[in-house]
Structure 1
Amino acid sequence: MKRALYSLLWFCGMPLVLGRLLWRARRQPEYLAHLGERFGRVTPPAGPCIWLHAVSVGETRAAQPLIKTLLSTYPEHRILVTHMTPTGRATGKELFGKESRIQQAWLPYDLPWLARRFLRSVRPACGIIMETEVWPNLMRQAQVADVPMLLANARLSARSAKGYARLGGLAREAFAAFRLIAAQSAADAERLCQLAGPAGQGSVSVTGNIKYDVEISPALQALGASFRQLAGQRPVMIATSTREGEEALLFEAFARQAPAEVLLVLVPRHPQRFDDVAALAQRSGLSLQRRSDNAPIAAHTRVWLGDSMGEMAAYYAMADVSLIGGSWLPFGSQNLIESCAAGVPVMIGPSSFNFTEAAEKAIEAGAALRCADAAGGIAAALALLANTTRREAMGQAGLAFCKQHGGASARLMQLVRQLLPGTA
């Protein structure tokens, strides 16, 4: 009954869903590309297939080491990677576009007949869902089709757990439908067990965070070196994956506190906001250039806007210190592991519920500092720029921190082999 009501709500809400899709397409026309895929009309892969769902940018980047291992371990299989956002799909194309065995598509809307059409077309040997993108009808149809499902790199904040718990038995049934669940941390595992209930608790294990295993390609390392040359001898402070409302706070504090020689590289989380953020910087009295201009950074430029996709590792490679977006207002933070992996000291704000364990462990390891607000983050970053010894020590601590917590990819592959026995 609950699933029927859920499906009815989806069906009745489809005009609103499509209206929202059209609204988003005003800024990102890619939302309307391959529209049939959103209704389950996916080109069938040519041969046996492993399906992996990575909703957006972070999940797609995180999946990189796992996909690399899947390709080598299962040479007869193709990999279908599904997404929900154009930025996720663009990131996938950037990372995997040259690999002929990888196919990309949208995940269909969560109506039972659309999920059924998708699974009948794809016929995956197994399904892997990155992090916590769990849809009740999709999971039910995977059960009916006997597709073994793995929830990989799963994280579940206390806030998200409460949201799922409101769905009651519908959420419990969806999580229990996973054959295996690989949690990032013990706290995530405990919350996932509570959601899955007795039927699903035996499927939950802790494998760690796969984001510690992401490797920086030589091409991005070279690009980062070229970015650093553009900055010359100037100290570089980077603010990455910033969210709406945070840029104004950072720009105000930077304009007030930072000496003219310090360069702020700012990379917004969502590409549709690039123009708005550029205008905001200029209104804040900060001279700005854009990465997309492909021009040398002038000595008087205060802000270099990272308005490109797939180059985050290169931006980190040019930085001396970093401020992590999503943490300065109550968004729960974005990924700080990338900064640590680049040996760049981290400033993180008060909100980090999406990366609680990683943030706490990075601070404990001496790789990150917790700051009360954006102004405090800018002040702490400036203090580190003036203290080379401490800055280098924090950078080395970040590298050691990532090395210590690596290995999740190998542990995940052990679970995949349980889903696909005798095929590797």
Structure 2
Amino acid sequence: MRLFVAFYYVIMVALNIIALPLLFLLSFKQKYRQSLKKRFLLPSFPKTQNEIIWIHACSFGEIRAIKPLIEKINLNNNESIIITTTTQTGYNEANKIFQNAQVYYLPFESFIPLFTKNLKIKTLTLFEAELWLMPLVCAKQKQATTILLNARISTNSYDKYLKFSFLYKVLFSYVDLVLAQQNIDKQRLQSIGARNIEICGNIKASQKPQITKDYKKPKQELWIVASTHEKQGILEEEIILQEILKILEISDSSPRILFVPRHPERFSKVQLTLENILKAKNLELKIASKEGIQKTIQAQFGLIDCLGELNNLYAISSLVILGGSFVDKVGGHNPIEPSFFNNKLITGAYIFNQTALFSLLQNYVICDIKDLSVVLKYRNLLEDSKTINKIKLDKIAQKIQGQ
């Protein structure tokens, strides 16, 4: 095992060095300007004498998901929390919502021994699929308890996991406790070497959506086309808008429709695509960054080209078309937030990453893109979605704190 870890580490160092020119060039892109430098080029290393509760979550959504869990952790005077993340949006959000934690970008594995050198790690918790060998190895060298939280293996990913089961057997040999979402996840995790598995559900279901701004609800229905993606050249915004236009009768009383794309770097492309489709119908698209969000809400068609507004919009909407699910390879998005506000909820068929969360919902519709216009036409027959919360955060927090 030690030889394997040593060989793995040498390979990671070599890959980091070989990739430096490309990483340097990519670091000038807005999306990667901070994250690549801090992960692969000039990482920051924590210094503290306290025992560390180290929690790693990849991105913006996962950072938001662990917030209620971290609030349940009662620190002793000699304990501190370190949060690591890999994306710029995740890093910014972690700094915003975790005032009593130290926040860092997770360095690439070649830097992990330096990152952990002076740390007294009590527990290391990795979120979902964020299985990194060197953090686990370095944590175990310091006699830390290691936990994989919210663990899952989707149907689409299972074959890939099986192909690399030799590597996952090594990874899981360094994991003390696996907290899985569903029984099917437990079975799949066991087949690739995981042990000591408990089923705890998906902690994203325990996240109570926060409203940060109050917007005035329009007199008409308000539809939110949320968290949309582009995959293999297909823009969900485009195919969803085309389905909407099949059944929408434009008038002063017709629904207001807002598009809220997933990634900021896509905003300009989405804007151009929607504008071209609507102009052909003599219709106009309002842009939140130009008109303001409240005016955009009142428009027939609007684009919300800013982050952090979805819950504010869910609170005043009547129907949500949840993206990341009408094109393959994304896996859907968290349905708990729109259902919390009792919206009529429509999702595509590709929700393989969210099956645990959808199992906690009542009253939602799964449909192919070709059937979306029909579902929208008969939307009055749909019932509002509802959420059932079964997650016991107190017990999970105790495990993460090493109790």
Per the alignment, residue 348 of structure 1 pairs with 347
Q: 1:144-201 CA distances to partner (integer Å, 9 max, x unpaired)?
A: 22221111111221333332332232211112311111111111111112222xxx42
Match of 1:239 in 2: 225
Q: Does the Cα contact within 8 Å between 2:325 and 2:333 map onto a contact in 1? A: yes
**Cα separation, partners in 2 of 1:183 and 1:18, compared to 1, 3 Å:** farther
Whose helix proportion is higher, 1 or 2? Answer: 1
Q: Aligned-pair distance for 1:53?
A: 0.6
1:416 paired with 2:396, answer: no
Residues 38-95 of structure 1, C-alpha deviations (whole Å, 9 max, x = no match): 665323246332111110122111101111112x455653321111111212222343
Deviates more, 1:26-35 or 1:143-152: 26-35
| Residue number in structure 1 paired with 2:170 | 173
Contact 2:39 2:86 (C-alpha < 8 Å) held by counterparts:
no
- Residues 23 and 195 from structure 1, CA distance in 2 versus in 1: closer, same or farther, beyond 3 angstroms? same
Deviates more, 1:303-312 or 1:182-191: 303-312
- Aligned AA for 1:255? L
Looking at structure 2, the residues matched to 34 and 20 of structure 1 have their Cα atoms a distance apart, in angstroms, of 8
Could you say which residue in structure 2 is the equivalent of 1:265? 258
User: Displacement, 1:216?
Assistant: 2.7
Q: Secondary structure at the match of 2:34?
A: helix
Letter in 2 for 1:265: L
Cα 1:353–1:36 shift into 2, 3 Å: closer
Q: Any gaps of 5 or more consecutive residues in structure 1?
A: none
Residue type at the aligned position of 2:106: L
Q: Distance in 2 between matches of 1:110 and 1:18?
A: 18
The counterpart of 1:127, out of the listed 103, 124, 127, is 124
Quick check: 1:115 aligned with 2:112? Answer: yes
| In 1: Cα distance, 2:393 partner to 2:339 partner | 18
Amino acid at match of 2:101: I
**Aligned partners of 2:46 and 2:240: how far apart in 1?**
45
Describe how 1:282-297 pairs up with structure 2 within 5 A: 282-285=275-278, 287-293=284-290, 294=292, 296-297=294-295
- What letter corresponds to residue 197 of structure 2 in structure 1? V
Q: Distance in 1 between matches of 2:288 and 2:333?
A: 21
Offset, 1:351 = 0.7
Which residue is 2:38 aligned to?
35
Tell me the distance in 2 between the aligned counterparts of 1:335 and 1:295.
23
For the 8 Å contact 1:136–1:174, the answer to whether it is kept is yes
Note if 1:380 corresponds to 2:375: yes
Query: What's the TM-score, normalizing by structure 1?
Result: 0.83
Higher alpha-carbon deviation: 43-52 or 115-124? 43-52
Q: Distance in 2 between matches of 1:17 and 1:252?
A: 43
Q: How does 1:364-403 map to 2 (within 5 A)?
A: 365=362, 367-373=363-369, 375-384=370-379, 387=380, 390-391=381-382, 393-395=383-385, 398=386, 401-402=387-388
Amino acid at match of 2:123: C
For residues 370 and 342 of structure 1, the distance between their equivalents in structure 2, rounded to whole angstroms, comes to: 19
Measured in 2, the distance between the counterparts of 1:205 and 1:69 equals: 19
2:218, 2:298 within 8 Å by CA — same for their partners in 1?
A: no
Amino acid at match of 2:47: P
- Partners of 2:11 and 2:40 lie apart in 1 by 21
Find 1:315's aligned residue among 307, 313, 316: 313
Q: Secondary structure in 2 aligned to 1:173?
A: helix
Using the alignment, how far apart are the partners of 2:37 and 2:22 within structure 1? 17
Decide whether the 8 Å contact of 1:25 with 1:32 is kept in 2.
no
Distance in 2 between the 1:273 and 1:349 partners?
A: 21
| Aligned-residue identity in percent | 22
1:248 aligns with 2:244: no
Determine helix, strand or coil for the equivalent of 1:284.
helix
- CA-CA distance at 1:360 after TM superposition: 4.7
**Structure-2 change in CA distance of 1:296 and 1:142 (3 Å):** closer
Q: Give the counterpart letter for 1:186 in structure 2.
A: N
Partners of 1:279 and 1:251 lie apart in 2 by 13
Are 2:113 and 2:134, in contact at CA under 8 Å, matched by a contact in 1? no
> How far 1:356 sits from its partner (Å)?
2.1
Aligned length: 387
TM-score (norm 2): 0.87
Instruction: Provide the C-alpha distance between the structure 2 equivalents of 1:6 and 1:68, rounded to a whole number of angstroms.
Output: 36
Q: In structure 2, do the counterparts of structure 1 residues 135 and 298 end up closer, same or farther at CA, with 3 Å as the change threshold?
A: closer
Partners in 2 of 1:349 and 1:44 — Cα distance?
A: 46
